[in-house]
C-alpha cells in the first residue's frame, strides 16, 4: 500500500462517496467508483475500518460499507479552535471515547498532526497541570486525565511517516512532570519525518554512569555519525536540566558537532547551562530542529 498523500486522498474520496450513499456500498462498488483495484481497495477498507472511519454491515449475502456513526468532517485550519475547545471539554469530563473520536475525525479531515499536538494537546497538558496545582483536581484525577492525553498522543504517533535517515533524535524527560510534553514533541518529530528514540521519564537514571550509558546507546542507534542527531530534554527543574545537559555535553566532545542538545525548560538568568537551543515553546523547538536540518544539508 502506498503512503502519504495518496492514502489521504483515497480516504477523502471514500468519505465523499459513502456520505452520498444512503444504503452503503459494497467493496466492489467502491473500487469501481474510485478506480482502484478491488484487492487493493479491500486492504484500504480494512485499514480505515481499524481507524474507526468506516464500518461494515452484512445485508443478506452482501457486505456493505458505511461511514461510522460519530464521524464529523472539520475544515482546517478554520476549525482548529473548535477542536481545541472540544478536546479540553471532553478531557475534563473524562469522556475518553469522545476525545479519541474527536482526534480521529480531525485526522480524517486532514488536520495537520503537528498543529493538533502543539495547539490542542499541549495546552490541555498545561491546563490539567494548572488545575492540579490550584487544588481543583486531585492526584488520582490528574493521573486519569494524563492517561487519556497519553493515549491521544499515541493515536497521532501511529500515523505512518516517511522517515528521513539524516534526521535523528532522542527525546526524554528529566522528571515525571515533563513526560507528556516530551511524548508530544516526540510524536511531532515522528510525523515530521524524524527517526525518533523516545526514552520516556529518565529521572531514575540520574547517576554518575548515565553519560557512559548514553554514549553506548548513541553508538547503537546512530550508525552514521555525520548525520544529524538532536537530543531533546524536557525538564521542570534546574537540577534535572543541569545533570542531563552536562551528560550530553560530555558526549558531544566524542561525537562532534553533528550531535546537538536542545532543552525545553524554564531557567533563571543566574542559571548557567550550556545547550545549543533552550526554549519553553515546543513549536519553537520543532522549528529550530527543522531549520538546523535544512542548514546542515549540502
Under 8 Å between Cβ of 17 and 32: no
CATH of segment(s) 80-157: 1.10.1240.10
Beta-bridged to residue 64, according to DSSP, are: 26, 57
Q: How far apart are CA 205 and CA 199, in angstroms?
A: 11
- Cell numbers for 223, please give them: 550508525
* Residue 145 confidence (pLDDT): 98
Same fold, 5-67 and 80-157: no
Burial class (CB in 10 A: 0-12, 13-18, 19+), 136: exposed
CATH 1.10.3720.10 fits 5-67, yes or no: no
Check pLDDT > 90 for residue 14: no
pLDDT of 5 higher than 60: no
pLDDT in tens, 52-106: 778 888 777 778 887 766 667 788 899 999 999 999 999 999 999 899 989 988 9
User: Is the four-CA dihedral 6, 42, 45, 34 of positive or negative sign?
Assistant: positive
**The predicted structure's pLDDT at residue 253:** 84
Question: Which architecture, in CATH terms, is 167-296?
Answer: 3-Layer(aba) Sandwich (3.40)
**pLDDT at 191 (0 to 100):** 95
- Comparison of pLDDT for 6 and 99, the residue scoring more: 99
Mean residue pLDDT across the chain = 89
Is it the case that residue 3 has pLDDT exceeding 70? no
- Report whether pLDDT(274) > 60: yes
User: Grid coordinates standing for 185?
Assistant: 514533541
pLDDT band at 2 (very low <50, low <70, confident <90, very high): very low
Quick one: pLDDT at residue 6? Answer: 75
Mean pLDDT score, 20-44: 86
Mapped onto helix, strand or coil, the DSSP state of residue 28 is helix
CB of 213 closer than 8 Å to CB of 205: yes
pLDDT (tens digit, 9 = 90+) per residue, 216-241? Answer: 999 999 988 889 999 999 999 999 99
246, 276, 297 from 253: Cα distances, Å? 11, 14, 22
Domain ranges of the chain: 5-67, 80-157, 167-296
Q: What is the mean pLDDT of residues 254-281?
A: 89
Amino acid at each position: 500500500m502506498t503512503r502519504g498523500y495518496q492514502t489521504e486522498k483515497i480516504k477523502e474520496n471514500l468519505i465523499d462517496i459513502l456520505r452520498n450513499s444512503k444504503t452503503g456500498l459494497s467493496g466492489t462498488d467502491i473500487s469501481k467508483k474510485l478506480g482502484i483495484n478491488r484487492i487493493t481497495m479491500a486492504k484500504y477498507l480494512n485499514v480505515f475500518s481499524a481507524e474507526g472511519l468506516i464500518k461494515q454491515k452484512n445485508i443478506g449475502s452482501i457486505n456493505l460499507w458505511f461511514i461510522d456513526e460519530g464521524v464529523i468532517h472539520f475544515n482546517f485550519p478554520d476549525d482548529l479552535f473548535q477542536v481545541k475547545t472540544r478536546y479540553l471539554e471532553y478531557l475534563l469530563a473524562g469522556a475518553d471515547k469522545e476525545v479519541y473520536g474527536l482526534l480521529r475525525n480531525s485526522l480524517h479531515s486532514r488536520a495537520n498532526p503537528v498543529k493538533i499536538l502543539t495547539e490542542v494537546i499541549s495546552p490541555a497538558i498545561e491546563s490539567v497541570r494548572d488545575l492540579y496545582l490550584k487544588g481543583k483536581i486531585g492526584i488520582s484525577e490528574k493521573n486519569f486525565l494524563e492517561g487519556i492525553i497519553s493515549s491521544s498522543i499515541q493515536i497521532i504517533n501511529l500515523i505512518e511517516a516517511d522517515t528521513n535517515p539524516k534526521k535523528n533524535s532522542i527525546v526524554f524527560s528529566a522528571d515525571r512532570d515533563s513526560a507528556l510534553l516530551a511524548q508530544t514533541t516526540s510524536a511531532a518529530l515522528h510525523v515530521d519525518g524524524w527517526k525518533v528514540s523516545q526514552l520516556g521519564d529518565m529521572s531514575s537514571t540520574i547517576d554518575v554512569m548515565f553519560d557512559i550509558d548514553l554514549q553506548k546507546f548513541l553508538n547503537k542507534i546512530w550508525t552514521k555519525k555525520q548525520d544529524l542527531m538532536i537530543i531533546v530534554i524536557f525538564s521542570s527543574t534546574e537540577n534535572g536540566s543541569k545533570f542531563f545537559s552536562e551528560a550530553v555535553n560530555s558526549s558531544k566532545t566524542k561525537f562532534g558537532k553533528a550531535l546537538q542538545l536542545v532543552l525545553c525548560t524554564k531557567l533563571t538568568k543566574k542559571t548557567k547551562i550550556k545547550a545549543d537551543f533552550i526554549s519553553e515553546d515546543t513549536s519553537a523547538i520543532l522549528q529550530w530542529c527543522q531549520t538546523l536540518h535544512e542548514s546542515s544539508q549540502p
